[in-house]
Structure 1
Amino acid sequence: MKKNLLALAVLCALTSGAAFAQTAEGPWLVRARVVNLDSSNKDSTGLGLSINDKTLPEVDISYFFNRNIAAELVLTVPQKQRLSSSALNAQIGTLKHLPPSLMLQYHFDTAGFRPYVGAGVNYTRFSSVRLPAGVSIDKSSWGGALQVGVDIPLTKNLVLNFDVKKVYIQTDVFAAGAKLGTFKIDPVLAGVGLGWRF
C-alpha cells in the first residue's frame, strides 16, 4: 500500500512538473508590427500645419516581471514626413522623427488570448528638418503614451498581436526666432504583427 502511494506521489510530481514545463513562459517577448500612423494635426500657429499619415514598421521588446506586469520598449527607424500648411495650401517642408516609447503594461488572464493595457512616456527627436528660411522647430518632444492590445497564441511561443497606441508628440514653431505657436501631432498608431515569447 505504501509503495503504491509512493509511486502515485512520484507520478503526480512528474506529471505536474511536465505540465509546468509546458505552460511556463519565458520573460521576453519580441514583436514586429506593421503600423498605421494617423496624426491629429492640431496647431496654434494659424498656418494649419499637418503631416501626412503613413504606414511604418515597428519592433518592440517586452520583459515580463511576472505573468501580468511587463515593460515594453517600442522602436522604429526615423520616419520621413511631409509638412503642409492649409493656410498656404502647399507643402512647406519635410522632416524626420524618431519616436521611441517606454510602456508599463498589465496583461489580463483570459482563456485563449491575452489582452493588455499600458501607459508610459514617449521621446521624439526631429531631424533632417527642411523648412522655409527663418522657420524652425524645437527638435525634442516629451509626452505621454497610452496603449491597448491583445496577444492571441498561435503556437507555444508565437502570438498574433493587435495593438493601438495614442502618443502625445508636439513641437514649438518659430519664425525669425519668435514663437509662432505649438504644433501637436498626437498620432494614433494602430498595428498588427507577430510576437515570439522566450
Structure 2
Amino acid sequence: MRTHTLSAICISLALAAPFASAHEKGDWLVRGGLTTVAPDESTSNIIAGGSDLGVALTIDNDTQLGLNVAYFITDNINVELLAATPFTHDVNFSVSDPLGTGNTLGEVTHLPPTITVNYYFNDANSAFQPYIGAGLNYTFIFDESFTAANKEAGLDDLSLDNSVGISAQVGMDYQIDKEWHVNASVRYIDINTEASFTVGGAEGSVNDIDIDPWVYTLSVGYTF
C-alpha cells in the first residue's frame, strides 16, 4: 500500500513539475507579442530663424505588435532580429504651450529593426532560460508631421534623420513544453537624430535629439 501511495505521489509531482528543456544548436525561435518603446529622451533646444527659443522636446511612449526571429548557432548563442509594426510617437514641447498652439508639436513614425547576439545560460533542469545580448539598431524615421495648429502658425517641412546605434538586452524564456515558450525582455537602444523644419520660410532645427528608448517586450514563442 505504501509503495503504491509513494508511486502515485511521484507521478503526480512529475506531472505538476514545469517542463524543462534547454535550447539547442539549430533551433529556430519565432515570437509575437506586445512591444513598448519608452523614450528616455534628452534634446537640445529648438532653433528657429537663427534664434534659440529656449524650448526642448519630449517624446511619448508607444506600444505595438512586436515580432522577432532567432536562430541558435550554438547551444548557448543565438542571433535575433527584432521587428515590429510602426511606432508613432507624439512630440511635445518641454514647457507648456510656448507658441500658443498647444503642448504637442507634432508626431513621428519609425521602425527600429535590431539585430542582437544573445548568450543563453542554458539549464536543462529549469524551465527558465535567461539570456543577455548586444547588437546593432537601424531606426527608419518617416511620416514626420506638425499638428494642424502648428502648421497654421507657420511651421512646415519637418524632417528627422534616420539613426544607427548599439543596443543591449536582458531576457528570459519560460518553457511551457518542447515547442512553446513565453518570453520577456528589456532592451536599451541608442537612437540619436536631428530635426529640421521651416518656420515662416526661415530654417529651423533641433540639432541633438537623444531618444535612447527602453524597449519592453512580452511575447509567446514557438521553437522548430
Taking structure 1 as the reference length, what is the TM-score of the superposition?
0.81
- Does 2:211 correspond to 1:185? yes
Residue pair 1:33, 1:57 contacting (<8 A) in 2 also? yes
Alignment of 1:36-55 (within 5 A): 36-45=36-45, 46-55=54-63
Distance 1:30 1:96 in 2: 25
Does residue 1:32 correspond to 2:29, yes or no?
no
Secondary structure of the residue that 2:143 maps to in structure 1?
strand
Structure 2 counterpart of 1:97 = 110
The one-letter code sitting in structure 1 at the alignment partner of 2:208 is T
Q: Identify the residue that residue 116 of structure 1 maps to in structure 2.
A: 131
Give distance in 2, aligned partners of 1:181 and 1:75.
28
Shifted more, 29-38 versus 172-181: the winner is: 172-181
Residues 16-95 of structure 1 aligned to structure 2 (within 5 Å) = 25=24, 26-45=26-45, 46-89=54-97, 90-95=103-108
CA offsets 1:47-82 (integer angstroms, 9 cap, x no match)? 221121122210000011011111000001212211
Structure 2 Cα separation of the partners of residues 115 and 154 of structure 1 = 15
| Paired-residue identity, % | 29
Q: What CA distance in whole angstroms lies between the structure 2 residues aligned with 1:82 and 1:178?
A: 19
Deviation at 1:135, TM superposition (A): 5.8
How much has 1:23 moved relative to structure 2?
Answer: 7.7
Offset at residue 88 of structure 1 (A): 4.9
> Does structure 1 retain, via aligned residues, the 8 Å contact 2:69–2:80?
yes
Equivalent residues of 1:122, 1:145 under 8 A apart:
yes
Q: Pick from 132, 143, 146: which aligns with 1:128?
A: 143
Letter of the aligned partner of 2:38 in structure 1? D
Q: What is the identity, as a one-letter code, of the residue corresponding to 1:154?
A: I
Distance 1:186 1:23, change over 3 A: closer
Give structure 1 regions of 4+ aligned residues with deviation exceeding 6 angstroms: none
Deviation at 1:117, TM superposition (A): 0.6
TM-score in terms of structure 2 length: 0.72
Q: Deviations over 1:80-106 (max 9, x none)?
A: 211111235310111111111010111
CA contact (8 A) 2:43 2:208 kept: yes
**One-letter amino acid matched to 2:93:** S
Code of the aligned partner of 1:116: Y
- Contact 2:62–2:87 (8 Å) recurs in 1: no
Match of 1:11 in 2: none
Q: SS at 1:192's partner residue?
A: strand
Query: What secondary structure, in the 3-state scheme, does the structure 2 residue paired with 1:66 have?
Result: coil
SS of residue in 2 equivalent to 1:59: strand
Aligned to 2:50: none
Task: Give the superposition deviation at 1:167.
Answer: 0.9
Q: Tell me how far apart the structure 1 counterparts of residues 37 and 22 of structure 2 sit (CA, whole Å).
A: 36
